[in-house]
């Protein structure tokens, strides 16, 4: 090994590989406390050993997969920054192969895939999944598989997600097993498409390709959450990555519809649109095309589904999850002022934190991410504009500007702003689940390394531990402390400390950057 990264590369390979192997083993063992059963003919995929392992064993395996994955990911990113140069093609192949294998195994970690199957079944049978929950179809083999506490809940996913779920329901019929497999195949395909796009975007730089693979394709935590967990976030992420990739190739006209489709899968990826809005701020015609086509795509999708399809999403924005620091705030307010949800207060507070983090991160990462123009004030609708300057700067670590097209530079800038906004949202939002973080890792794979990488890894590892598992049925009573202590008390404090540390780093790094730029400025 070359000096500089020592044994970190070995730790990265061993940790990531073992984590993925353990994740595969959890699914292969079959129904358990972390793998919901899938009713349907045994000859249909997905397949497993039906070993019915004990709850303590599989939950321990989940913890091992998360711990090894976090260690391997952190070591890999550190080693790359110190000079390690793994073959990105091998990482790409390994990650894609893991996705294919996991598609043929039962999803693990949560029971969200059963909700997806039920919503597709409802759509096929002529029911409205945005109005009714699975409980509205008593006796239906697919709807009856949905677990508590989601049986009464209508879909919070976009019309494009519902269309895919309906296709799976059409193919699967009354078989939960086959319906879930179709969804798993779509999910794996989306993951692989995103992997190939990220690999191609970095094709001029082997180190960037390796970084992209470590953060997405061969990222054991992303594989654990998005591939093994089979969450609808994966297709949404693939679509917005495709939108940014189209921009990098000078095809901004294609970016708008792709962004719109991504938002019509899951609304939170709409934050990515702030990236192109910033990057194209000096090209009003191109910006109008991207914004117009994206908006039109979303409007058409929701017009077909019915405007009421937005109601469950708007209701969900008021929720507060147990593992976020805002749960502590809510408990404190209840202790001080009596019973109440205090959702409006918390929403105002979270928006304030989001604005602070967004502006601070934009200042701190202005150099590494190649962001041009001064950031002067927060905004919740679009990035702050600045006075026109020359062509956007090339991010640190990128090839020289003369070797990069203007579109590629703008696309990198768009990814940088999008990464900042998504990071600010994730650390500030009152409602977060670990698989939401996959969007941030896909965006980080498109920009140079920074301290934000470490904060993202730590956050996903901690939040993943909080949801061991994210399923409520079939959990042993003696492990209930994982919810009442770890999820609702320990993890919120850790995430609060991480949020404060991120804000402090961003503020101090931004101040240092401003000082350096001021000292480097020519005298008047």
pLDDT for res 474: 86
pLDDT band for position 395 (cuts 50, 70, 90): very low
Report the percentage of the chain scoring pLDDT > 90: 79
Total-model pTM: 0.91
**Alpha carbons 407 and 301: distance in angstroms, whole number:** 29
Residue 396 has pLDDT above 60, yes or no: no
Q: What is the pLDDT of residues 98-115, one digit of tens each?
A: 999 999 999 999 999 999
Q: What is the pLDDT of residues 254-277, one digit of tens each?
A: 999 999 999 999 999 999 999 999
Mean pLDDT for the stretch of residues 396-419:
68
pLDDT for res 316: 79
**Alpha carbons 263 and 158: distance in angstroms, whole number:** 7
Q: What is the pLDDT of residues 299-344, one digit of tens each?
A: 999 999 988 898 888 887 788 999 999 999 999 999 999 998 899 9
Would you tell me how many other CB atoms lie within 10 Å of the CB of residue 340?
Answer: 10
**Alpha carbons 79 and 223: distance in angstroms, whole number:** 21
pLDDT for res 384: 36
Q: What is the pLDDT of residues 32-82, one digit of tens each?
A: 999 999 999 999 999 999 999 999 999 999 999 999 999 999 999 999 999
The answer to whether the beta carbons of residues 371 and 413 sit under 8 Å apart is yes
Domain range list for the chain: 8-313+393-513
* CA-to-CA separations, 434 to 109, 219, 270, in angstroms, rounded: 11, 14, 18
């Amino acid at each position: 090994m070359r000096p500089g990264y020592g044994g970190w590369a070995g730790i990265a390979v061993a940790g990531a590989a073992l984590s993925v192997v353990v994740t595969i083993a959890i699914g292969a063992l079959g129904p358990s406390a972390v793998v919901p059963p899938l009713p349907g003919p045994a000859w249909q995929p997905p397949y497993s050993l039906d070993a019915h392992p004990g709850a303590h064993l599989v939950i321990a395996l989940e913890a091992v997969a998360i711990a090894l994955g976090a260690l391997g990911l952190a070591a890999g990113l550190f080693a790359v920054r110190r000079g390690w140069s793994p073959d990105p093609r091998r990482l790409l192949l390994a990650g894609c192969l893991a996705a294919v294998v996991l598609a043929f195994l039962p999803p693990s970690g949560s029971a969200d895939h059963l909700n997806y199957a039920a919503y597709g079944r409802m759509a096929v049978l002529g029911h409205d999944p945005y109005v009714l929950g699975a409980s509205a179809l008593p006796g239906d083999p697919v709807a009856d598989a949905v677990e508590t506490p989601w049986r009464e809940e209508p879909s919070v996913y976009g019309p494009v997600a519902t269309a895919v779920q309906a296709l799976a329901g059409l193919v699967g019929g009354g078989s939960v097993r086959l319906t879930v497999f179709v969804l798993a195949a779509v999910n794996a395909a989306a993951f692989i498409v995103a992997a190939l796009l990220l690999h191609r975007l970095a094709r001029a730089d082997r180190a960037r390709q390796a970084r992209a693979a470590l953060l997405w394709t061969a990222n054991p935590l992303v594989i654990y959450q998005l591939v093994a967990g089979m969450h609808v976030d994966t297709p949404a992420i693939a679509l917005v990555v495709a939108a940014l990739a189209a921009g990098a190739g000078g095809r901004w006209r294609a970016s708008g519809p792709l962004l719109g489709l991504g938002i019509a899968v899951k609304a939170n990826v709409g934050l990515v649109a702030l990236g192109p809005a910033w990057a194209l701020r000096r090209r009003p015609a191109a910006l109008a095309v991207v914004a117009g086509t994206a908006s039109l795509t979303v409007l058409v999708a929701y017009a077909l589904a019915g405007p009421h399809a937005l109601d469950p999403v708007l209701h969900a924005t008021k929720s507060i999850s147990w593992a976020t620091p805002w749960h502590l705030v809510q408990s404190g307010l209840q202790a001080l002022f009596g019973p109440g949800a205090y959702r409006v207060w918390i929403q105002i507070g979270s928006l304030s934190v989001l604005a602070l983090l967004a502006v601070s991160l934009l200042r701190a990462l202005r150099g590494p991410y190649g962001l041009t123009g001064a950031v002067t004030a927060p905004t919740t609708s679009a990035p702050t504009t600045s006075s026109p300057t020359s062509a956007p700067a090339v991010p640190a670590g990128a090839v020289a500007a003369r070797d990069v097209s203007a579109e590629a530079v703008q696309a990198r800038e768009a990814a940088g702003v999008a990464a900042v906004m998504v990071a600010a949202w994730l650390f500030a939002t009152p409602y977060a689940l670990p698989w939401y973080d996959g969007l941030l890792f896909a965006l980080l794979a498109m920009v140079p390394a920074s301290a934000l990488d470490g904060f993202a890894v730590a956050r996903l590892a901690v939040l993943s531990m909080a949801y061991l598992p994210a399923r409520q049925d079939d959990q042993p009573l003696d492990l209930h402390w994982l919810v009442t202590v770890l999820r609702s008390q320990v993890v919120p404090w850790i995430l609060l400390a991480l949020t404060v540390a991120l804000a402090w780093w961003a503020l101090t790094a931004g101040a240092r950057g401003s000082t350096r730029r001021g000292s480097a400025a020519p005298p008047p």
